[in-house]
Amino acid sequence: MLKHRGFPGRLPGTDFQFTLRRANPKGATPITTRERFRDRRPADKRADMGFMKALWEQFGTEPFERGNLDAGRLSWLFGREVKALDPDTFDPEDYEAVLIIDETLARASFPEAFDGSEDWA
């Protein structure tokens, strides 16, 4: 499992996890598409925005390996702002799965993540 050095482990000041410390010996937790309803708690929305901002700062428009990124947190963005680079060969249970940010959708969903502001916690 690739560890993304320099990527924040969690949303600062919270328990919202962004990365894993070690690989699960039983295999990676599958990435799924989770529905984001309008009535989600503000803290959950901040966690999504903070994770998107961290992804953008780390990878930008470049494809990236899932590695130690948290499957639960990725699942809130997967299928919309974060997509499989090659949907035909994508394995949601593979730590080596390659993902990419859909910049257009990400900017529309999380404009604060792209405005250059450092105050996202």
Q: Write out the chain's pLDDT in tens, 121 residues.
A: 889 999 999 888 888 999 988 888 888 899 999 998 989 999 999 999 999 999 999 999 999 999 999 999 999 999 999 999 999 999 999 999 999 999 999 999 999 888 865 554 4
Q: Which tokens is 105 given?
A: 């959708």
What is the pLDDT at residue 59? 95
What is the pLDDT at residue 116? 67
Which of 69, 72, 82 shows the shortest CA–CA distance to 23? Answer: 69
Q: Which helix (H) or strand (E) holds 101?
A: strand 98-101
What is the pLDDT at residue 1? 86
Sign of CA dihedral 70, 75, 81, 87: positive
What is the pLDDT at residue 26? 86
What is the pLDDT at residue 119? 53
